[in-house]
Structure 1
Amino acid sequence: MISILAPFLASSDPDGLESAAEKVISEDIFAELEEAEAAIESPLPDYSIEGKGKLGEIIAICLSTIGILVISFGLGKIIKA
């Protein structure tokens, strides 16, 4: 249920982690990091599917949540064995 409501309740303001990084890292280095190419491309950048609007965000969040649950369950089975 939270996955479905999240796109409508999420803040459009900058991320708290990003604002904290701006305070800790010098402005020049922070600008370089923002422009740097990602080491690994995200399969669902910004928790959205391009061109789908809010429905794409809902689908992306649900898929991500299910993916994390599957990975956690699998790791739990491996560790327990």
Structure 2
Amino acid sequence: MNTKNRNLIIGGLIIALIIAVMAPFLASSNPDGLESSAESLEVPESEAAYTAPLPDYAIPGMEDNPLGGVVALIVGTIVVLLVVLGVATIIGKRKKNGTNE
């Protein structure tokens, strides 16, 4: 990874982490459009297809604490960064080896 790409990734990570720290304090407690539409139409809630590791952007047991949201968003940001870097590394190695499969 060259210096330009590294600086871009670090800058993006810093911006994402700033947003992650601020988001729980700026987020509305009101339901979003889809949730409020479902509530007004009295659509029954269905069971989730799977259990999310950090449901509703909160650490289990810290649902009402904004700090739980901050930690969940930071963890999520880092996980997404690692997945993207992993995929980019695999694609880069395939291109370097001349395979596009």
Higher RCO by CA contacts (8 Å cutoff, separation 6 or greater): 1
Q: What runs of 5+ residues in structure 1 fail to find an aligned partner? A: none
Distance 1:19 1:55, change over 3 A: closer
TM-score by length of 1: 0.74
How far did 1:50 drift?
2.7
In 1: Cα distance, 2:76 partner to 2:56 partner: 11
C-alpha root-mean-square deviation of aligned residues, in Å?
Answer: 2.1
Between the two proteins, the alignment pairs up a number of residues equal to 72
The percent of aligned pairs where both chains have the same amino acid is: 43
How far did 1:13 drift?
2.2
How far did 1:19 drift?
5.5
Give 1 or 2: higher helix fraction.
Answer: 1
Q: What runs of 5+ residues in structure 2 fail to find an aligned partner? A: 1-17, 94-101
Which residue pairs with 1:15 in the alignment? Answer: 32
Deviations for 1:9-39, whole angstroms, at most 9, x for unmatched residues? 11222223x169x49xxx47xx24xx22111
Which residue pairs with 2:4 in the alignment? Answer: none
Distance 1:37 1:63, change over 3 A: same
Runs of 4+ in 1 over 3 A off after TM superposition: none
In 2: Cα distance, 1:3 partner to 1:47 partner: 10
Asked which structure has the greater CA Rg, the reply is 2
